[in-house]
Structure 1
Amino acid sequence: MLVDGTRATLVDWNWLRPGPAWADLVGVLPLARADGLDAEAWLRRSPLTRDVDPDHVDAWLATVAAYMLANADQPVWPGGPASVRVHQRRYARTFLDWLGARRGWDAR
């Protein structure tokens, strides 16, 4: 929350980094896919993603999963919620599940 005098603005800075316009959509699709949404259909339909190289989408999925896993077992900062680590593990799992399905990896 940013507070300026009497005004407050809520900001979701989950991905605080400039990047391609499609990154935010791809960033929420793994969780939607885990809840039953056809994420591949969204990729094909959305003007943000339909022309994106599939390898770029896969690289983004792998990058986010690696980031989440690299931090998931770290101690939580003082005063921070333990649930952030649960969130990171869930994100990593859902990103890797979709990446594995996209790449045809055996889930065994």
Structure 2
Amino acid sequence: MHAFDVLGDPVRRRLVELLADESRSAGELTAIITAEFGISQPAVSNHLRVLRDSGFATSSREGSLRRYAVVPDRLAEVDRWVSRYRSLWTNTLDALDTELKRGRRANRQQDRHHQE
């Protein structure tokens, strides 16, 4: 399954966000996702299975708990794809930053002029 097919779903994107900082138990993930999206435990389990089967997450047993963790290599693949297009918005953001700095500079000069 293509990375964007997996991450195109808002529930799966949120699960990856939750796993980005630390591994979490299936129960913890289910509680958060159920509260945020209003979906059932079996639906959350299906999304976790898709993440695991597509290589975005791993799972392991810790006693009676199943813990999930993100797989950074799979996200690196997404980053490599996006990097081809990053210049399209980086140049625009750089230009915006320049204009914002000009505007702040002009406001400071105008404020000084009014204070004199």
Select the structure that is richer in strand. 2
Q: Report the TM-score, using the length of structure 1 for normalisation.
A: 0.37
Q: Report the TM-score, using the length of structure 2 for normalisation.
A: 0.35
Select the structure that is richer in helix. 2
Q: Which has the larger radius of gyration?
A: 2
